[in-house]
Structure 1
């Protein structure tokens, strides 16, 4: 059973934890992380969710993501999720997320990294991931058009590709 730390709207940890699926009060939030791995050719590593996975089953998604569990920092959650879902070791300790998106129930931290990964060396988490592959921005847009990719905003996917080498939203 997964337990989450809860935060206030300013992202200060409050002295409360809940179990995944339990109701949260309107002023309580949790941390989610997403990692996007890009290779040296500018492609993103994407994964296909299992058919029995609750929510977005069989759809392709960005590299990995999930909720921070109790005691995790955002960086620890990113490292754990990446290893659990794809078997990739990566140290996020000295990184900040490139962006954080506030959603109704929490904070979603996005880490964008360049890391050439051999697909044959991945260890896919059987409970969550059925396949993984490299994809260009255009290939992801095509999958989205075919309703085979989680329906992120196209502009969000474009920003992940364009913003992967720096922090912020201004081209320098």
Structure 2
């Protein structure tokens, strides 16, 4: 069983938890995390979801995504999920999310990191991930147009690539 901490609309933690799979109450939210790993070529590490996964089976997705468990900070959840799904250790202890997105039932903290990763050394979690690869922005957009990538807004993927070097809404010179 997986339990999540619950939050109010101001992202203040409540003294309640939620069992994954149960219906969320109106005005109650949970925390989700995503990590996008970029290499020196400016490519993003993407993963292909397992064929038997509920929700978008066989589709490609950003590096990692998952829900924070009861008692976890955003950083702890992101580090755990990357370790579980890819067998990769990352350190986000002193990092803030690059972006936080609000969705119907929660908050989604998104981290952008730069790391060279040898794909042959990753240990993919069988229950979650069937494959990984590096992909350029254009390759991801093409996968989306072909229906092979989770149907994010194209502008969101463009924003991820645009923001990968900085935090905030002002473009810094690169």
Same fold (TM over 0.5): yes
Report Cα offsets for 1:30-68 as digits up to 9, x if no partner.
Answer: 000000000011000000000000000000000000000
Q: 1:147 and 2:147 equivalent?
A: yes
Q: 1:55 and 2:55 equivalent?
A: yes
**TM-score w.r.t. structure 2 length?**
0.98
Report Cα offsets for 1:68-124 as digits up to 9, x if no partner.
Answer: 000000000000000000011001110000000000000000000000000001000
Q: How do 1:31-46 and structure 2 match up within 5 A? A: 31-46=31-46
**Secondary structure of the corresponding residue to residue 76 of structure 1:** helix
Question: What is residue 106 of structure 1 aligned with on the other side?
Answer: 106
Q: 1:118 and 2:115 equivalent?
A: no
State the distance in 2 between where 1:147 and 1:25 align.
32
Q: CA deviation at 1:170?
A: 1.2
**Secondary structure of the corresponding residue to residue 148 of structure 1:** coil
Q: CA deviation at 1:25?
A: 1.6
State the distance in 1 between where 2:153 and 2:23 align.
27
State the distance in 1 between where 2:101 and 2:156 align.
10
Q: CA deviation at 1:27?
A: 1.5
Q: CA deviation at 1:18?
A: 1.1
**Secondary structure of the corresponding residue to residue 127 of structure 1:** coil
State the distance in 2 between where 1:62 and 1:70 align.
24
**Secondary structure of the corresponding residue to residue 132 of structure 1:** strand
* Consecutive aligned runs of 4 or more in structure 1 exceeding 3 Å deviation: none
Stretches of structure 1 that go unaligned for 5 or more consecutive residues are none
Stretches of structure 2 that go unaligned for 5 or more consecutive residues are none
**Secondary structure of the corresponding residue to residue 155 of structure 2:** helix
State the distance in 1 between where 2:140 and 2:25 align.
36
Q: 1:18 and 2:18 equivalent?
A: yes
**TM-score w.r.t. structure 1 length?**
0.99
